[in-house]
Every structure is written in structure tokens, then in C-alpha cells.
Amino acid sequence: MDSEFSERSWQSPDGLELYFREYAGDDTGKTPVVCLHGLTRNSRDFEGLAPHIARQGHRVIVPDMRGRGQSAYADDSATYAVPNYIADLMALLAQEGIERYISIGTSMGGLMTMLIAQFAPQKIAGAVINDIGPVVDPTGIDKIKTYLGKGGSFPTWMHAARSLEEVHGESHPGFDTNDWITMAKRSMTLCNNGRIAFDYDMKIAEPFNEADENAVPPDLWPGFEALAKKPLLLVRGGISAILSADTLAEMQKRAPDADTVVVPQAGHAPTLDEPEVRSAVDALLASVG
């Protein structure tokens, strides 16, 4: 185990055993940070960013949401929906005694952050919203539906990486083989049978495919506007099919004080390991303290 974090667990309101990584940080005066992954991803997406933040003194909590990574899979696929993920997160925050935190949300994690800001704005001290907005481009939703829940397994990490490149190559034109292998190791796992497979419950696709309403909560502008009053960093992939340039422009209009970073050769979603994103995250952390 990487000594930079401890592996912990909490229980969801409906009794699932869920997993999170905790990076301790050494300054109790600093606001804790919670990193929230995207739809098919897990806590490993933040294995670059989380220790970087912890080294600045912040305690960092990185959960695997239900049905991902080392968290339990739900019996009822209908519970794979943002309101349930938020209820799970609230249980984690309560267990850990976190009243107020900085939220770093990629894609689905950004949707969660906007909704939490709408009903519990006092909890969020500042936020990074990565490649998602109150309006989600339907092109991007259609693209997700082409691969979500399709399964498949691979004999080697190289095969896994090549498969990811086939599906996501246009989103990351600058990636080399090592980048694709890194992505594979973050999003897939070595199974008991020796094959490599995606590290999430394929049933996540069921509620997502049944209705766009489940995929994207209805009106997120009020939540976004609640965030606009706080330290806020907006990150967009310059060629994103999920967050359009028009939606980003509207977000900037409604949050004139927000910092914005557009990562030119990235689609959905930037990794947050890009140097320009890192320095913008550092600036946000410093402004919250």
C-alpha cells in the first residue's frame, strides 16, 4: 500500500460498505479537501493530485462512490443516481466530522458539488469543477452511452491501454502509451481470473441509459450560482464534448470572480495533473486557507 494514504471505510444510509482513501495532511487549521470522481471512475483518478494537496497541509478525503473501485456494489441499480451518491457522501462527512470542505469534482463529482451547494451551501468552502457545467452537451451523453456498461476484459495492461485509446483517443490526442497505461490502471483492475476489467458495476449504465433526467439532474444553475459566491476554479478540456464553450462562457458570466483554466489538447476530462491546472488548484487552496 502507498504509505501516503490510509484505506478506510464508511457505511451508506442503506447499509453498503464503502471505501475511501484518506491523505492525512499535517495542518489541522487548513480546510479539508474532498475529491469526487466521474461516472465510471474511482479514487485512483486523484492519486497524483491528492498527495500534492496533502503536502500543503490539507487533509484529503477521496471516496470510491457505490459500485466503483473497492466500494460495494448496490443490489438495486436504481440507486446509482446522484441523490444517492450525495446521501452516501453526507454519511461520510458526518462520520469524519467534516462540517466544511473544499470540493474537487470531475464530471459526475462536479454535478454532486453543484447540487450540494444548492441545498447545503455552508458545507462548501470553495470548489474546483472539472469539465462539467449546469448544461451537459447531449453529444457527450450520447458518446458515454456508446461505452458505458459494455464490459469486456483484457489479457495485459497494454491491451487494456490500446482499447481505451480506441474509445477515447480523440479526447486525449496528446496522450502517449504511458499515459494510456496510467489511465488503464486508474480505471481498471486485475480480476481473480487474471484478466483486466473495468473497475465498476456494469449496472451503473441502467439508470443512466433509461433517462437523461437521471443522467443529469434538472436545473443546476441555482447550485452553480451558490458556488459563484465562493472561491471557484472552472476547468474545461478545450475539445470537451461534455462542457461546451458556450456553457463555460455562461458560467463565467454568472461567476465573474471564478478562475478558469482551459486545457487545449484535452477532451472529457482533463486529468487535473496538468501543470496549469495544478497551479490554479494551488491558488484556490491558498485563497480558502
3-state SS record for 59-109: CEEEECCCCECCCCCCCCHHHCCHHHHHHHHHHHHHHHCCCCEEEEEECHH
Task: Count Cβ atoms below 10 Å from residue 87 Cβ, excluding itself.
Answer: 13
Cell of 69: 473501485
How many other C-beta atoms lie within 10 A of the C-beta of residue 194? 8
Q: Helix %, strand %, coil % for the chain, to 5? A: 45, 20, 40
What's the distance, CA 138 to chain centroid? Answer: 19
* C-alpha closest to that of 153 among 195, 209, 185, 191: 195
pLDDT digits (tens, 9 = 90+) for 150-170: 988 999 999 999 999 999 999
At residue 216, the pLDDT reads 60
**Which pTM value belongs to this model?**
0.96
Q: What is the pLDDT of residues 261-285, one digit of tens each?
A: 999 999 999 999 999 999 999 999 9
How many CB atoms sit inside 10 A of residue 176's CB? 9
Flag whether pLDDT at 21 surpasses 90. Answer: yes
pLDDT in tens, 126-142: 999 999 999 998 889 88
